[in-house]
Amino acid sequence: MELQVGGQNVSRETIESLRAFEALVKRWNAAINLVSKATLPVLWDRHIVDSAQLFSHLPATAQHWADFGAGGGFPGLVIAILARGAGRDLRVTLVESDARKATFLRQAAQALGLSVVVVNKRIESMESLQADVVSARALAPLDALLEFAAVHLREGGTAIFPKGARHTEELTAARAQWSFDVDTHSSQSEPGAAILIIRNIERAKQN
């Protein structure tokens, strides 16, 4: 039986894995602030569905997805669950500087049977991951995210950044420092928000 989450057709087993992940987040959130307490009652829609919609933008040939500021596993662990359910051979690297959150990510991945790599470092201190896809959710302004993407994407890679209602302002600000191609998709989970699919990132030529 096919079910849907974030616009993806998924199996019952995938839904069960996502529900198990949801329960883990709720259990750990009392000790570690993985998500805002205000969003706990709507965690499925606000965080899991919001993360799941990014999976549809995974390029067909991508083999390595790196998620920055992975925090509570959004979108990184959601992507890993969906990739497994879809039979995609996708390596997922979760970068998180907070040691407690990195511990949660490792233990959640183990509990869910996911093969992911958790890196407990600051993004700025890492050598290039040469990822096919990089993502970050609620981490930093777009110009800062493009700095990370320029370092950690392989040539021809794709950055996938969900952004809120002020995404057009962030795009304008980022273009002062960066040259890039962008496709903007409306968010399925938050009115006015968008998913930015960005490629060909280069520093803007200064006049």
Binding region for S-adenosyl-L-methionine: 69, 74, 123-124, 137
Nearest one of 50, 72, 39 to 160, comparing CA atoms: 50
Q: Which two tokens stand for residue 28?
A: 């750990």
Phi, psi of 178 (to 5 degrees): -130, 150
CA dihedral 20, 22, 23, 26 (to 10 degrees): 160
| Residue 149 near residue 177, CB atoms below 8 Å | no
Q: Which two tokens stand for residue 87?
A: 């039979």
Locate all alpha helices (DSSP H) within 30-141, ordered by sequence.
Answer: 43, 50-52, 76-85, 99-112
As annotated, the binding site includes: 69, 74, 123-124, 137
